[in-house]
Amino acid sequence: MHTIMTKVRPLIGWLTVACFLIFGKLWMAGLDHHAMAFGLFVWLFLVIIYVAFGVVHEAETLADMLGEPLGTLVLTLSIVVIEVVLISAVMLGSEGNATLARDTMYSVLMIVLNGVVGLGLLMGGIRHYEQSYNLKGASAYLSVIIPLTTIALVLPDFTTSTADGSLSPTQALMFSLLTIGLYGIFLWLQTGRHRGYFVAPDAQPIDAKEMAHKRPSAVDKKGLVVHFIMLLLNILPIVILSKSLAGILDYGIAATGAPAALGGIVIATLVFAPEGISALIAIRADRLTRAVNLCLGAVTSTLGLTVPAVLAISLYTGKPVLLGLPSSGIVLLVSTLILSSITFSNSRTTMLEGAVHLSLFVVFLVLVFSP
């Protein structure tokens, strides 16, 4: 049954792509009919979520074959590619959305660091009382997340080269290079000499030199190729459908008068839902290190890849990108980073940390609709 589902997911995605290629222009022209707009949005949202679970399945299969932390890295990068594509589709649309990238990255931070982490630690605390994880890995993630978050979402509000929360071309270029460089160094350490920081503390120690000399067997290589192709077959429909979803989402927010930040929340939920569920399942199975790698890895990859991508699009198209958060967002973001540093300063967690993170997540939701 599971094998059938694995094959059906990309098929449903590609059938939806075919429908939109044939009838998409006609459907998009009829968005003034709210029922049609809502129906198309629900259809695309559910299909993308469903196919995204296929992405997670194939990435997790590759994770089992490659081992940690390479496996989790494949998963987080796959999800972030989807996120970047969705944001880019909206940015390149006729109307554009100057704050979408900021809202999406901020929503990812709040959903992951407060929503998923909070719910997971609460569930894990109730079920297992205390849970242990690899403290060095979490500290490494946070040491990258904190400066990248500050540069991307806080600093633009305090620079004087521009009057709003945007960056000048020089700042955009230099900050993009800095972000890519810092993220590249982190990946080098994560997959090389310090990969032992990202495995469970009770796992066998990893010798990087020994791992470098190991080569997968012919069967393993064939399996890697097959699952990598399946990963692409699941990702590509999402990439193709993203433009249509972006157009419907943009129209829906404008027509209903919903907060502009809601678009970022929808995209963040869309791309991170499968990975978030995987993290919660890992916590329930008392594999907290795996969940920490998924959650903090998703945030790190989002900041490391989304910021350079959207700034590059902005420089290329000339469309403005506002990255600086409003004052209330900065307060909540700083509180979240401080709380995360405290939560992941001890190698064992309890349900108390989960309850506190969830409280901040509720505050985030309230401020979206009642700023």
Q: What is the pLDDT of residues 182-198, one digit of tens each?
A: 988 888 887 777 777 77
User: What's the pLDDT at 67?
Assistant: 66
User: What's the pLDDT at 113?
Assistant: 93
Distance CA 323, CA 261 (A): 13
Q: Tell me the torsion sign for CA atoms 340, 345, 348, 350.
A: negative
**Sequence-ordered alpha helix ranges (H) in the chain:** 2-29, 34-66, 70-91, 100-110, 117-128, 135-149, 169-191, 208-213, 218-256, 261-284, 288-301, 307-317, 327-343, 351-369
CB 105 within 8 A of CB 303: yes
Q: When comparing pLDDT for 179 and 79, which is higher?
A: 179
User: What's the pLDDT at 50?
Assistant: 85
Asked if pLDDT for residue 203 goes beyond 70, the answer is no
Q: How confident is the model at residue 338 (pLDDT cuts 50, 70, 90)?
A: very high
Give the CA radius of gyration of the chain: 21
Distance CA 204, CA 200 (A): 9
User: What's the pLDDT at 211?
Assistant: 45
Distance CA 234, CA 228 (A): 10
From 119-123, 212-216, 313-317, the region with the lowest mean pLDDT:
212-216
Q: What domains can you pick out in the chain, each with its CATH number?
A: 2-369 (1.20.1420.30)
Q: When comparing pLDDT for 47 and 271, which is higher?
A: 47
Report pTM.
Answer: 0.82
Average pLDDT over residues 345-354: 86
User: What's the pLDDT at 96?
Assistant: 58
Q: What is the pLDDT of residues 306-320, one digit of tens each?
A: 888 888 888 887 777
Asked if pLDDT for residue 91 goes beyond 80, the answer is no
**Which residue matches tokens 């000499």?**
193
Q: What is the pLDDT of residues 255-267, one digit of tens each?
A: 777 787 888 888 8
pLDDT over 70, % of the chain? 88
- Mean pLDDT, the chain, as a whole number? 81
Q: When comparing pLDDT for 91 and 345, which is higher?
A: 345
User: What's the pLDDT at 215?
Assistant: 47
Asked if pLDDT for residue 340 goes beyond 60, the answer is yes
Asked if pLDDT for residue 287 goes beyond 80, the answer is yes
Query: Phi and psi dihedrals of 94, rounded to 5?
Result: -65, -40
Which residues have CB under 8 Å from 262's CB, separation 6+? 253, 368
Q: When comparing pLDDT for 6 and 178, which is higher?
A: 178
Q: When comparing pLDDT for 54 and 340, which is higher?
A: 340
316 CB-contact burial (10 Å; exposed 0-12 / middle 13-18 / buried 19+): exposed
Report the range out of 24-38, 77-91, 259-273, 334-348 with the highest average pLDDT: 334-348
Average pLDDT over residues 238-253: 78
Asked if pLDDT for residue 209 goes beyond 50, the answer is no
Average pLDDT over residues 114-127: 91
